[in-house]
Amino acid sequence: MRELKLGVVADEISRNFPVAVREGKKAGIQHFEVRFLRSGRIPRCSARELEEVDAIVRGEGITVTAISPGLFKHAGTEPEFRRQMTEVFSRASELALRWKTKMIVFGFKKPGATEQDPVTIDGEIPGEVLDWMAETVGEAERLGIPLLLEPEPISWTDTGLRAAEMIRRVGRGGLRMNYDPGNVAWMTRRNPVDEWPEIAELVTHMHLKDTLLEPQDGKFPVWVFPGNGGIDYATLFRRMLADGFSGNVSIESHMNLSPLLLVAFKTAVERLWQEASRAAGEATS
């Protein structure tokens, strides 16, 4: 069976990074993404907390698979882009280099989009948005930092297909995809698995969560365990295995994971992966 490189977004367990690592390791996890610490979102955190992460990364034998500074998630204009490059990208780059890891970015905010109402915008991604991303990728390549573009409902890249469009039009090897089928299902209210063949070659990292497809009270999604929502992970995992996916998969449950919930979530994911591996083996035998 091909290895599942399963990790977790650390603050899904706790914004106290030592606690998150301790509980994650108890559950058998060695791979961690860094997004929020107690003092704020990476890189806008206290120097003491960042030093604490440094010490743990050096001493605990863990891997930081990515950092997520929220870059461009709420930037939709040229001045906002420039400000985030100065205030966020530059500082986040120092951490990515320090921890020898990748940086997650977003595809810039769609006009009028909110998390309550992401809105759908037809047509091509604007040229200026592509120029901003190309400039960012060029700077990241100069520094030696791989960038991962994440589909996000309020951004121009609100599905895997739209993220793939941006990556291909930017046309630089330093930009690949952090695929988040949960975000795509949130945006489209449908199972997103059919888009996998069109994006597979670009996906090197993945966030894992599941959601009910039908709106409940209000417009925010209801997050559930993998296999209990509208995303057909059994099929998605089979396709990932068939395509030789070997990247990292990070639990991003949006559930405030207690130790028991973390183990249960991890077990559910591993069971789906094992079933997909068996099915893939039967298909090739």
- Is residue 25 situated within a structural domain? no
Q: Tell me the per-residue pLDDT of 78-112, one tens digit each, with 9 for 90 and over.
A: 999 999 999 999 999 999 999 999 999 999 999 99
AA letter at 178: N
Q: What angle do CA 16, 21, 23 make, to 5 degrees?
A: 95
Alpha carbon separation from 131 to 28, 83, 108, 172, 270 (Å, rounded): 42, 16, 11, 12, 40
Asked if the model's pLDDT at residue 280 lies above 80, the reply is no
Separation of alpha carbons 183 and 232, rounded Å: 14
Do 148 and 103 touch, CB atoms closer than 8 A? yes
Residue 92 lies inside a defined structural domain of this protein: yes
Q: For residue 284, is pLDDT > 70?
A: no
What is the Cα–Cα distance from 217 to 110, expressed in whole angstroms?
24
Give the domain range for residue 178: 70-248+260-284
Instruction: Say if CB 62 and CB 26 are below 8 A apart.
Output: no
Give me the helices (H) in the chain, please: 17-26, 47-59, 78-84, 90-98, 127-143, 160-170, 181-188, 196-199, 233-242, 259-284
Counting the structural domains of the chain, the total is 1
156, part of any domain? yes
Determine the pLDDT at residue 196.
98
Pairing of strands 5-9, 31-34: parallel
Residue 60 forms part of a structural domain: no
In this structure, what CATH number is given to the domain that contains residue 191? 3.20.20.150
Q: Which residue has the higher pLDDT, 162 or 217?
A: 162
- 64-75 residue pLDDT tens: 999 999 999 999
- If DSSP codes are grouped into helix, strand and coil, which group holds residue 5? strand
What is the identity of the amino acid at 53?
V
**What's the pLDDT score for residue 285?**
40
**Partners of residue 33 on adjacent β-strands:** 9, 66
Each residue of 120-170: pLDDT tens digit? 888 889 999 999 999 999 999 999 999 999 999 999 999 999 999 999 999
Q: Is the pLDDT of residue 25 over 90?
A: yes
Return the number of other C-beta atoms located less than 10 Å from residue 226's C-beta.
24
Asked if residue 133 lies in contact with residue 156, where contact means CB atoms within 8 angstroms, the answer is: no
Q: Kindly report the average pLDDT of the chain as a whole number.
A: 94
Is residue 36 domain-resident?
no
* pLDDT band at residue 46 using 50, 70 and 90 as cut-offs: very high
Q: Is 91 inside a domain boundary?
A: yes
Query: How does pLDDT run across 157-206, given as a tens digit for each residue?
Result: 999 999 999 999 999 999 999 999 999 999 999 999 999 999 999 999 99
pLDDT above 50 (res 13) = yes
Q: How far apart are CA 272 and CA 285, in angstroms?
A: 20
In a domain, 53, yes or no: no
Asked whether residue 65 is assigned to any structural domain, the reply reads: no
Q: Is the pLDDT of residue 2 over 70?
A: yes
Residue 120's pLDDT is 84
Nearest to 32 by CA among 88, 94, 99, 97: 99
- Quick one: pLDDT band at residue 218, thresholds 50, 70, 90? low
Residue 118 pLDDT class (50, 70, 90 cuts):
confident
Q: At what angle do helices 17-26 and 47-59 cross, to 10 degrees?
A: 30
Q: What is the pTM of this model?
A: 0.95
> What was the pLDDT predicted at 95?
97
